[in-house]
Every structure is written in C-alpha cells, then in structure tokens.
Amino acid sequence: MIARIFKKDWILLWPMVMLVTAIQTLLEWSDYDLSVINANAAAVDLIRPLTVAWVLGIAALVVAVVHQDPIPGVEQDWLIRPIKRTDLLMAKMLFLLATISMPMMVLNLVHALAIGFPFADVIGVIVYKELYTFVFLILPLMALGAATRNLTELTLLGAGLVIAYAACLASSAYFWGTARCPTCGSGLVWQQHLLQHVELGVGAVVVLSLQYFRRRTPVSRVLILLAAAALVFVQLPWAAAFAIQQRLSGHADAPTGVNVAVAGALTVENPDTPQRSARRQATRALMNGDVDQAFGYLERGGGGASTRLEIPLEAHGLAADELLLVDRGAAHLGDANRVLYRRDPIEEDPGLLSPPAMQTGATPDVPRQTIRVPSALLTNHAAEPRELTVDYWLTRMKVIEEHRLPALDGELRSPEAGVCRSHLEEDIVLLQCRRVGPGQFCLSATLYGPDGAHDAEARRCLPDYRPYMPAYVFVLSYFSLELPVRDHTGAAHYAVDPADFDRSYLVFKIYGQRAHFTQSVGPVRVGG
Amino acid sequence: MPSTNVIETHEIAKTYGQFGALHGVSLAVPTGSVFALLGASGAGKTTAIKILLNLSAATRGTARVLDVDSRAMGPAVLAQIGYVSENQAMPARLRVHEFFDYLRSCYGSWDRTLEDRLRDQLRLPPKRRIGELSHGMRLKMALACALPYRPRLLILDEPLSGLDALARDEIIDGFLLDAGRMSVLISSHELDEVERFATHVAFLHEGRLLFQGSVTALAEHARPLLQGADTKPAEARTSLRDIFVAMVRAARSAT
C-alpha cells in the first residue's frame, strides 16, 4: 500500500519535485562555484535568493504531499478506504526522503567529491545531515501540513504562529530584557538551538501521531501554538549550559594552571550621558531590529548616569600556542559587607586573552574589561571604598594545526582545515576554507615576506562550540580570514612589500577548544 | 453472536456548539435490506452517516457497523463498505484510470471484470482528470469505485441529488434494484425515487427519528395519521411523500 500511495503522490506532484530538485541543484552549484573554487560573482548573487527559494520549495512540497490526503475534515476519500494510517504516514515520509533528502544527498556528495574530499570522510556526515534536516525541518513542516486541510488553513495557522511567536518574543524581551536568552551571543548558544530543535522534533512527532492516529486537530493546533511559545520561553540557564560544555570537553575538573589577573590600575571615567541618550540609542537599535541591544541601552541608561570602570587584564600560565576566550563575565560591586550592584552578564567583551609573547608591536594592546556602574554608587558615598569583583567563564584554546602556504594562490588540504586557498583581493589576502562538517571558529594567519619580515597577526575567533554540523542545506562549512596587506592612504604600515607577495607565505593556525573553566578576578578597590 | 443487522445505533446524538444535529437516534438496518434514510435537508442524515463511518465522532451514544464499534473501525471493516457521497473529495488532479489503478491495490477482493463492466456501463472517460468531471459523472465515478470489491454494505449519501433523470434511472435500475447480497443504506430527500427500491425506511426530522421499519410496516403505522388528512383519493396508493408529510405535521403539532 505504501508503494501505491507513493506512486499516486508522484503522479500528482512530480512537476513540483522537479522544480525543487532544480532549485537544489542550482543552489549546490552556486555554493560549489562560490568561493574556494572560482569566486564566481554570479554564484555569490544567486546564493541568497536560491536559499530562500529552497526553503520555500521544500516547505511547499512537504505541505503539498501531506495535503494530498488531508487529515482534518470529513469528506476526503482516503478516510473511507481500507488504508492503514501507518502506511499513509510512512508513504508520505518515504516520498519526502526520496524527493528531498535523496537528491540533496547526491548533490552534497558530488559537490564534496568534486572538491576532492574522500568518499569515506564525507558519506557519514552527509547521512547525518540529511537525518538532521529530516527530523528538525521536514517533520515539523509535515506536522504543520497535517494540522491543516488546505493552503488557506495553512496560511491562517502560519499567520497565527508568527503572531504568537512575535508576542512571546516581545513579552520575553519586555520582562527579562537581555537576560531572556542566557546563552545568546556566546559560543554555547548551540545548546539552546539544539534544545529548540529537539522541541520542534518532539513536537512534530507528537502532532503527527495525534493527527494520523487520532485525528485530533484542535489539540494539535493548540500544541503547535504552545511549541512556538516554548521556543521563546524554554531557555537553558547559563550555569547549566556551561557545565554541559565542561562535561563535553572532558576537562571538567582538571586544574587549568591559568590565572587571569589585574594588570595595572583601574581606570574610572567620567559619567556617561544619562537616560536621554540611552533612549535615543535604544530607539535606534530597535529601528535596526536589535531588541537585545535596545534593552541593553535602556538598562544602562535607565538608572541615571553611569560611570565606566576599566580593568586591564592579563593571563598567566598560557602556553605560547594558547588563547583564552571570555565566554561571559559577571561583575559585582560592593563594600566589605554586601553587594550593592550586580551586572550579569557584562555586555562589554574584553576580547581575547593571549600570552604576552604573542602580542606584537612595541606597546602591545592590553585587554581591558569595561564595566558600567551607576555613578550614584560611587559618588554618594565617595569616602567609602568599594570593591569590584568579576567572575569569568573562560575557554582555553590551543593550536591544533599550523600550516604554511603561499600567500598568493596557495592551497592547503588537512583534516582540520579541509581545503583552503589563498588569493589577493585588492588590499587583502583572503584565506578561504571549506571543510566537511562543522567549520573552524578560531583562526589566525600571519603574512611573512621572503626575508622573514611579517605583518601583524590577523585573528578571527567567534566562539561556536557546537560539536555538530548546524546547516540544513550544505554539508561543507565555509570559513575565511582576511589579512590586510597594503594601505594606499599610507595610514597603516605593513612589513611585507607587495612586490614580494608572490614569494611570501602565510602561517595559518587553527585553534581548538581545550578546556572550559571559571575564574574570579579581584576584588579590585574602586574609590575610597 | 453476530447481529442480524448490518448497522445498529444506540441513542446517538451530535451537537455543534449550541446546535443539536442529532437527538438520540437509534437505528437498525437489517442485513440484506435496502434501507432508505429519509428527511428534508438538514434533518441529520449526513451527520448520522458520518458517525457510522467514523468520519465524525458522536457527542453521545454508540454505533456498530458490521458488528464493529464505528469508532474502532479499521481497514478490515472499511474493505467491506462502499461509500458514495455527493461531497466525496477524490483527488481532483488524478485521471480516472489512475484512480482506479490506485484503488485496486487497496482492496484484496477487487474484481477487475466488474470494474471494466461498471466503467463501460457508466461511460467514464479514462483519460479525464477527476476534477474535470461533471457533478453527475463524479457521482457515477464514486459509485463505480465503491462496487468492484463487492462490499457487504453500501452507504449512499444523497446519491441522486443533482442528477438528471437519465442518470438517476441508470443508477437505480443498474445498481439499486439489483443489490443482490449487498445491504444498502441510502440517504435521500427524493422520496418519490426511493420508493421504487427501498425495502425499509427511516424518517428523520430535525435530528429526531420519526419512524423506522419495513415499507409494509410503514403503511400500517401511517394509517391513523393519514385518516382525515388532506391527501389523495382513497383508491389511490399512499406515497412515501404523503406519509412523511403527515408524520412531520404530527411531530410538529405534538411539540
């Protein structure tokens, strides 16, 4: 029976399947032609609209196949036929596996093989990615289709979902401000995303079961709306997320031997302009669609004037090939007896902490932690000393691969880097890499001339500790690094002469997570 | 012990919000009968049929079809039931022959010879998409899809409404007068047509059952109601329409 339902759906939907496959093919071609291979400008322009078309095409196909035998209603023919509900559901799933997942798998595979990745390295990741896409994208779309009878109902339910989601988001931002999503903006946000994906997957299975085996449409629709609310309100607390990350790194209890300390005198700057400016900034942030930043401005400005405290930091105990990433900081200001003010998290990021040996230049930049505190706390009782303590959640990064490749048109292949190529693009050397599976998020590269002279090291560390591939569409991740190498205005000085570029080389380092740990800095005396 | 009835309902009721569509209806459709469920539009005929086929849940009461609780009706029971409705939503973009191909695999007892005969008899165009068929052709198509597996029970929901006289005769003469071993439940408000083939009747009025029984029993039951009623001359045969009208009037005067 499954085969018969499949065949019937194929007869009805094959033109749509062809269209979606064509979109998939174009999208894969664009991605192939995009960067590492040809840097084709047309491909760059195509990739965004094609991605939108892909999502819409997939959604339309999923819903269309479910709507061929709709669940809600009393007049559809299949209800009076001796068709097992399990067969019907299986036939729909099989159809989507065959018409969406299989073509995508083949295209992903051909793409990866064309770039030169071995079949054995690629196939496992591709199968995993297709399963991931099926469970967390296709099944939820199927659930939406199963809870509606036709396109009109789907549009109404979709509009209801968007409104419910937006209302939840707005109320969450109103009541909790920036604390509404503890892991957002950090390398741990993948856990929140995974939680949301699991919610979607489980919700989809429940709705599909309710619809196909019980035909409980009102209950299913309520569940779908509740799932939209859960996506906003079910948040992983920061401490739990960090503990999970520590467990995953396998170094939860290991002594780190790393110490972050205050590297000099604390600086107290004049009070910032109070509320009025904060409101203006918040309005501007809202107009740019950044709710978190808007709330940040309001929080900072809401209590009157604030004073900027700056603490210079240094890290001891790091090896020469190590870095320290600050995942989160929390500050508390108090006197000897009690905490008067707490800022958790601190919005300002001190940046990467690296061993002094790695810092280049005559006067190396010292990382500074900026903290804004209400001025009243410092001025009303100016004679009383205050103490500032900062708690840090840190990640120790270590070089896991180091490579040397020509600065112009160099190519590199390695397990951690994947396939990387370098080329000159106006005033920068661009290093681009494609890798099967998750990309690398912490990279550095230095341009060396033939005489050994070198430019400043370029680094890019945007923490993302997820252990899995996050993408729905592509199986190859993309990461890159830009090295500024010349400045026509003469404002910046570069040690490597552009005339020597064809004999220059890049030293490229990839950092991997070594350990996650917490540490307190201070107390630091403020005023008094 | 198997029941002698193919359909039995016990006090089934259905409400939609404040509106009561059915009020405690108990039906018994004998095996082998051609049972006509009659009533005006909105009397509750279609609602009752949807409950029998588990397309809709009763607010209260129970229904048994072919000795199985209608709520627990699975593929094995559905394989023995043919259903034809004017509202039946068949896949509009499938061609006639493609839909038959599809249905054949659903039924173990599908008789290909009977299918061919029905398709010839009803002159169904094989290449035409179902959505392009006229109302009458779609009803014929639904009928042709409901018979080749030789169901024990055929349920027809308003199969004659909207059909021209020729099509009605084709259906009545071709299928209903020769039901054979099949039990038939047919809902209709076309009382004059039903009279030609029904062995049993039930009258529904505003969700309430006014009468059910054999056609012979109906005449006996209706005699007191018809005495003094302004119907036809005594020598003329009393029609289902007259009896139905008399019953409805009696029901209205009682309330």
**How far does the CA of residue B62 sit from the closest CA of chain A (Å)?**
18
**How far does the CA of residue A4 sit from the closest CA of chain B (Å)?**
6
Conformational region of residue A448, where left means phi above 0, alpha means psi within -120 to 50, and beta covers everything else: beta
**In sequence order, what are the beta bridge partners of A436?**
A476
Rg (CA), chain B: 19
Give me the CATH number covering residue B78.
3.40.50.300
Contact between chains at B87 and A75 (C-beta distance less than 8 A): yes
Q: How confident is the model at residue A357 (pLDDT cuts 50, 70, 90)?
A: very low
CB–CB of B109/A115 below 8 Å? no
Three-state DSSP state, A76 = strand
Cis peptide before A523 (omega within 30 of 0): yes
Q: Of A346, A347, A341, which is closest to residue A388 (Cα–Cα)?
A: A341
Residue A329 has pLDDT above 70, yes or no: yes
| pLDDT > 70: percent of chain A | 89
CA-to-CA distance for A219 and A359, rounded, in angstroms?
Answer: 60
Q: Of B219, B207, B179, which is closest to residue B25 (Cα–Cα)?
A: B207
**How far does the CA of residue B24 sit from the closest CA of chain A (Å)?**
21
CA-to-CA distance for A37 and A432, rounded, in angstroms?
Answer: 10
Three-state DSSP state, B8 = strand
B144 falls within a domain: no
Residue span of the structural domain in which B52 resides: 5-87+153-254
pTM: 0.86
Which chain A residue has its CA at the smallest distance from B108's CA? A82
Which chain A residue has its CA at the smallest distance from B76's CA? A82
State how beta strands A458-461 and B81-85 pair: unpaired
Query: Residue A276: which residues within 8 A CB-CB, separation 6 or more?
Result: A301
Range with lowest mean pLDDT among A12-16, A99-103, B214-218? B214-218
pLDDT digits (tens, 9 = 90+) for A488-505: 787 888 889 888 888 999
Q: How confident is the model at residue A355 (pLDDT cuts 50, 70, 90)?
A: low
Contact between chains at B88 and A75 (C-beta distance less than 8 A): yes
B195 falls within a domain: yes
Q: pLDDT value at position A360?
A: 47
Residue A395's H or E segment, with its range, is: strand A386-406
CA-to-CA distance for A421 and A403, rounded, in angstroms?
Answer: 12
Q: Of B56, B34, B72, B58, which is closest to residue B187 (Cα–Cα)?
A: B34
Residue A104 has pLDDT above 90, yes or no: yes
B104 falls within a domain: no
Partner residue opposite A82 with nearest CB, options B53, B78, B102: B78
Contact between chains at A83 and B81 (C-beta distance less than 8 A): no
pLDDT digits (tens, 9 = 90+) for B146-162: 989 999 999 999 887 76
pLDDT digits (tens, 9 = 90+) for A406-416: 999 999 999 99
B56 falls within a domain: yes
Give exposure, A34-58, as e/b (b: 16+ Cβ within 10 Å).
bbbbeeeeebeebbeebbebbeebb
Query: Residue B22: which residues within 8 A CB-CB, separation 6 or more?
Result: B12, B13, B14, B44, B47, B48, B51, B58, B207
**Residues of A with Cβ-Cβ distance to B14 under 8 angstroms:** none
B137 falls within a domain: no
Range with lowest mean pLDDT among A64-78, A329-343, B84-98? A329-343
CB–CB of B139/B163 below 8 Å? yes
pLDDT digits (tens, 9 = 90+) for A255-276: 668 888 888 888 887 665 555 5
CA-to-CA distance for A152 and B155, rounded, in angstroms?
Answer: 31
Contact between chains at A82 and B91 (C-beta distance less than 8 A): no
| pLDDT > 90: percent of chain B | 46
pLDDT digits (tens, 9 = 90+) for A377-419: 777 666 677 888 999 999 999 999 999 999 999 999 999 999 9
B51 falls within a domain: yes
Residue A147 has pLDDT above 90, yes or no: yes
CB–CB of B151/B1 below 8 Å? no
**In sequence order, what are the beta bridge partners of B63?**
B9
CB–CB of B117/B109 below 8 Å? no
The residue whose two tokens read 């945007």 is A462
Q: Apex CA A272: angle with CA A267 and CA A274, to 5°?
A: 150
pLDDT digits (tens, 9 = 90+) for A152-167: 999 999 999 999 999 9
Q: What is the mean pLDDT of residues B100-106?
A: 92
Partner residue opposite A82 with nearest CB, options B79, B90, B98: B79
Query: Residue A119: which residues within 8 A CB-CB, separation 6 or more?
Result: A109, A113
Which chain A residue has its CA at the smallest distance from B104's CA? A4
Number of structural domains found in chain B:
1
| pLDDT > 70: percent of chain B | 90
Distance separating the N- and C-terminal Cα atoms of chain A: 83
Contact between chains at B91 and A77 (C-beta distance less than 8 A): yes
B97 falls within a domain: no
| pLDDT > 90: percent of chain A | 51
CA-to-CA distance for B16 and B19, rounded, in angstroms?
Answer: 5
Q: pLDDT value at position B126?
A: 92
CA-to-CA distance for B208 and B204, rounded, in angstroms?
Answer: 5
Within 10 angstroms of residue B80's Cβ, the number of other Cβ atoms is 18
Q: Of A392, A77, A497, A446, which is closest to residue B102 (Cα–Cα)?
A: A77
Q: pLDDT value at position A35?
A: 54
Task: Identify residues of A whose CB sits under 8 angstroms from chain B CBs.
Answer: 1, 4, 7-8, 11-12, 68, 73-77, 79-84
Helices (H), A250-381: 275-287, 291-302, 375-379
Amino acid at A64: A
Three-state DSSP state, B174 = helix
Q: What is the mean pLDDT of residues B55-68?
A: 93
Q: pLDDT value at position A364?
A: 55
Distance separating the N- and C-terminal Cα atoms of chain B: 40
**Residues of B with Cβ-Cβ distance to A7 under 8 angstroms:** 102
CB–CB of B5/B183 below 8 Å? no
Query: Residue B223: which residues within 8 A CB-CB, separation 6 or more?
Result: none
Residue A38 has pLDDT above 70, yes or no: no
Q: pLDDT value at position A370?
A: 87
Q: pLDDT value at position A359?
A: 47
Q: What is the mean pLDDT of chain A?
A: 86
Amino acid at B213: G
Q: How confident is the model at residue A362 (pLDDT cuts 50, 70, 90)?
A: very low
The residue whose two tokens read 């099944």 is A139
Range with lowest mean pLDDT among A128-142, A259-273, A378-392, B220-234? B220-234
Q: What is the mean pLDDT of residues A287-312?
A: 71
Range with lowest mean pLDDT among A176-180, A271-275, A442-446, B202-206? A271-275
As a dihedral over the C-alpha atoms of residue A479, residue A482, residue A483, residue A489, rounded to 10 degrees, the angle is 180
**Residues of A with Cβ-Cβ distance to B147 under 8 angstroms:** none
Range with lowest mean pLDDT among A118-132, A260-274, B16-30, B184-198? A260-274
B234 falls within a domain: yes
Mutate to test the interface with A, among B14, B46, B66, B88 (most CBs of A within 10 A): B88
